[in-house]
Amino acid sequence: MLRKAAPRLDLFDWTDQRDRVRGNKTDDEIQMLRRGADLLDDAYLEVFQRIKPGDTERTIHADMMGTCLAKGFEWVHGILNSHRNTVPYGGESDFVINRGDVIRTDYVAYLQSYPGHQSRTVIVGPPSAEQRRDYAINLEVYRTTIDRCRAGAVVDDLYRYTMGEYKKHGWPSSHLLIGHGVGPWWHQQEPVLRKESDVVLEEGMALALEPHVNYWHVQDMILVQKGAPILLSPKFNTDEPFIAE
């Protein structure tokens, strides 16, 4: 229709240029992402302290959604599942949480259209030695991957490094992605950190990093720099899983 209406109009695909412009954030945008991240972690900390055995996925999820909205977010979505529930993206149900359960989360909450987007791990009751070990394994892979997210890094190299580290531990090593860009209105945009992507990270990109295996899922937002990246969501201490007593 455009060519017919304006035959001399020069049309070309601007997708790559648009993605590159969107991927690099202004200082004001970074502050918006920080605000969203801080507020989402506040919600996590409040809700996690209320978790107790006998709760259902549905009631905890509803508490998380309601707490986010009460704190001022305009819109929120996400998942919350026990490790014993084998349908992690099937919607929260009346599945009952027991002592010893690992609870996986993955929430996105929008504040003036900019997302807080983090994932935090909860263990109900004292964790076992095996649970502590597996959390630590994933955390090490996760943090070393983050450290490599510097200006000039090639996405495919980052992906292959992460999969190689998981393979060393005998863990699944063929994932859809290990992270993605974040920006206004929708939380997932280019660059998508996936296999065979030749995208080069640039200073000023904001990413949500989430290499994870099964329910061992930690996710934070970072700002890419020439040196070590800056953590945009540092309020919640992820050195250990959160213990809900």
Q: How many domains does the chain have?
A: 1
Q: What percent of the chain has pLDDT over 70?
A: 100
* H or E segment and range at residue 167: helix 155-168
Confidence class of residue 130 from pLDDT cuts 50, 70 and 90? Answer: very high
Confirm whether 50 is domain-assigned.
Answer: yes
> How many angstroms separate the CA atoms of 152 and 156, rounded?
12
Residue 204 structural domain: 26-244
- The rounded Cα 223 to chain-centroid distance in angstroms is 13
Confirm whether 156 is domain-assigned.
Answer: yes
What is the pTM (predicted TM-score) of this model?
Answer: 0.92
Confirm whether 134 is domain-assigned.
Answer: yes
Return the pLDDT at 160: 98
Confirm whether 18 is domain-assigned.
Answer: no
Pick the range with the lowest mean pLDDT from 9-23, 91-105, 165-179, 202-216: 9-23
Residues 176/89, Cβ–Cβ less than 8 Å: no
Confirm whether 118 is domain-assigned.
Answer: yes
Confirm whether 100 is domain-assigned.
Answer: yes
Q: Please choose, from the candidates 166, 175, 227, the residue with its C-alpha nearest in 3D space to the C-alpha of residue 196.
A: 175
Confirm whether 21 is domain-assigned.
Answer: no
Confirm whether 11 is domain-assigned.
Answer: no
Domain containing residue 232: CATH number: 3.90.230.10
Q: What is the mean pLDDT of the chain?
A: 95
> How many angstroms separate the CA atoms of 194 and 210, rounded?
12
